[in-house]
Amino acid sequence: MTLLRAQDVTKRFGGVTALAGVSLGVEEGEVLGLIGPNGSGKTTFFNVVSGLVRPDSGSVTLDGQELTRLPPHRIARLGVARTFQISRPLAGLAVSENLLPSLHFGAERPREVRRRAGELLELVGLADKATWPAADLTTWELRRLELARALGVGRRLLLLDEIFAGLAPGDVDRTIELVRRIRDLTGVTVILIEHVMRATMALCDRVVVLAHGVVVTIGPPTDVVRHPEVLDVYLGTREVPDAEG
């Protein structure tokens, strides 16, 4: 079943066309990768889906409901959440307290919020650091906290913006397994923007390639990385990467 559908989405900023008639569908429970060179329109697409910007034309629907005229908080109420490239925790609060705003917003019953916070921290492997100040977390731990905070709202769709950036190779592998576990246990659908091709190849069911605001190709990762235009425009090489590098 198609959960999210974008149809002919166009967005211009002055004389720059960030998205030019983008159409794609995301199946329920899928992990969809969104890749492309800098300036290709990936973040603009996330901003349109989450309601931060309105497209000039086209539509985005979630399970048939139009999103493009809704404000961000209304879209979040429908179970859509995102992470950002730079983690900004509530540094002066404990790790568990960082989850409370999203859980309260996500319409948890007040008496169940702290129990749910504990469950999410257990899911992302931060239960032993629940009382730590968020400022004391490592980069990888902050990424896991971001995932937990997003899950407090995003019961249906998670938009993950470069969660692998800056991670050591071992942490990339552990994050791949974490996202898989989250998808398998919660059934949440995931769209991720990513430049770490090893993660994209290993994790995504399908990949969408954008260039200059246009969809170049959509398909399984092993097919996408062999597409001639992808090799030239995005990867900049005729060498085909694999899940190991």
pLDDT per position as a tens digit, 35-58: 998 899 999 999 999 999 999 999
**Residue in this structure with the two tokens 């730079």, named with its chain if needed:** 86
**Residue in this structure with the two tokens 């705003």, named with its chain if needed:** 101
pLDDT band of 70, cuts 50, 70, 90: very high
Q: Are 78 and 50 in contact (CB under 8 A)?
A: no
Question: pLDDT digits over 170-221, tens only?
Answer: 999 999 999 999 999 999 999 999 999 999 999 999 999 999 999 999 999 9
234 has pLDDT over 80: no
pTM of the predicted protein model: 0.91
Mean per-residue pLDDT for 3-31? Answer: 97
Lowest mean pLDDT among 57-71, 101-115, 126-140: 101-115
Lowest mean pLDDT among 103-112, 131-140, 236-245: 236-245
User: What's the pLDDT score for residue 245?
Assistant: 44
- Residue 221 CA to residue 243 CA, distance in Å, equals 10
pLDDT band of 107, cuts 50, 70, 90: low
230 has pLDDT over 60: yes
Alpha helix stretches (DSSP H) within the chain: 42-50, 72-77, 100-105, 113-124, 139-151, 169-186, 197-203, 221-224, 228-230
With 0-12 / 13-18 / 19 or more C-beta atoms within 10 angstroms meaning exposed / middle / buried, residue 1 is exposed
204: left (phi over 0), alpha (psi -120 to 50) or beta: beta
240 has pLDDT over 80: no
Mean per-residue pLDDT for 163-168? Answer: 93
